[in-house]
Structure 1
């Protein structure tokens, strides 16, 4: 079964808004670029898809904008290549190497996980809550920035149940950012007396 990983930037207080002041440095951009290269399919909700496409999609003329340096171009090229499944009932169409799915988020993701291939990735705010609530997220990967935002959307807000996790990997970046990888802890069978 293909694993599904939820990966996102977050502050120490759990804020995961892209405008929370999480400026990428060379090392974290390289980290995200490598993650994008390892993914077979990205799962995106409407808001995350629109935001990412606006910034990271290759322009129609084929030239990257002047604000992009080498690190941003490498990341954009990696994202461009990844097939995307976009979940939205209101988006009229999806391009950027994307398939649009209007209904049955949980069923669609279950089917994607059962297909042969490599890892699936999800990012964003709302879609990961639905997938975590359905028990479909196999790994939680957070790039934790040394910053307290004090406002904004937080990780998995509205999740209807607790998800016990175990830390399986941790990597400190020179900038003070810490990459943390967690997996859900399987419920243990009750002991018999």
Structure 2
């Protein structure tokens, strides 16, 4: 079974709005590019899919936009070429190497996890909350930014039950950000 990993940038006070933390730098982009390499497919809700596509889908011209620095291109190529599943009840079609996922979320994600491969990667806010509530996330990966935002959507706000985690890995960045990976701790009998 391939694991489902939830990965996101988050401020020290738990804000997970994409503009609340530090701007991407070469080190963080190399990290996220490597993490995408551990996934066979990406799982997005509509909002995250549309946001990521607007930034990282290669233009029809075949050339990356002028705003993109050279060190961002490996990440752009990794996410652009990745297989994507989009969970949405409002979209009728998707592109960008994506497949629309509708119907029972739990059954669909269980089916995707049963397929052979290295793993699935989910980002965003709303979809990961639903997946965590269903007990389907196998690994939580946060790039914790040394910023206190004081506002914005917070990580897994509204989670139905507490999830005890155990640390798998920790990596500090020159910026002061820290990448932490956790797995759900085994439930004591």
- TM-score (ref. length: structure 1): 0.96
> Shift in Å at residue 22 of structure 1?
2.5
Q: Give 1:6-155 correspondences, 5 Å limit.
A: 6-155=6-155
Larger Rg: 1
2:37 aligned counterpart, secondary structure: helix
> Shift in Å at residue 4 of structure 1?
0.6
- TM-score (ref. length: structure 2): 0.98
CA distance in 2, matches of 1:92, 1:71: 34
CA distance in 2, matches of 1:13, 1:74: 30
CA distance in 2, matches of 1:70, 1:106: 39
- Which whole-Å deviations, capped at 9, do the CAs of 1:27-54 have from their partners, x for residues lacking one? 0011011111221010000000000000
Task: Number of aligned residue pairs: give it.
Answer: 189
Give the match for residue 174 of structure 2.
Answer: 174
> Shift in Å at residue 92 of structure 1?
2.3
- Which whole-Å deviations, capped at 9, do the CAs of 1:53-72 have from their partners, x for residues lacking one? 00000001111100001121
Return structure 1 stretches of 4+ with deviation > 6 angstroms.
none
> Shift in Å at residue 122 of structure 1?
0.4
- For structure 2, the 5+ residue unaligned runs are none
Checking the alignment, whether the CA contact within 8 Å between 2:21 and 2:145 is kept in structure 1 is no
> Aligned Cα RMSD in Å?
0.8
CA distance in 2, matches of 1:173, 1:22: 12
CA distance in 2, matches of 1:22, 1:135: 30
Checking the alignment, whether the CA contact within 8 Å between 1:5 and 1:121 is kept in structure 2 is yes
- For structure 1, the 5+ residue unaligned runs are none
Checking the alignment, whether the CA contact within 8 Å between 1:106 and 1:130 is kept in structure 2 is no
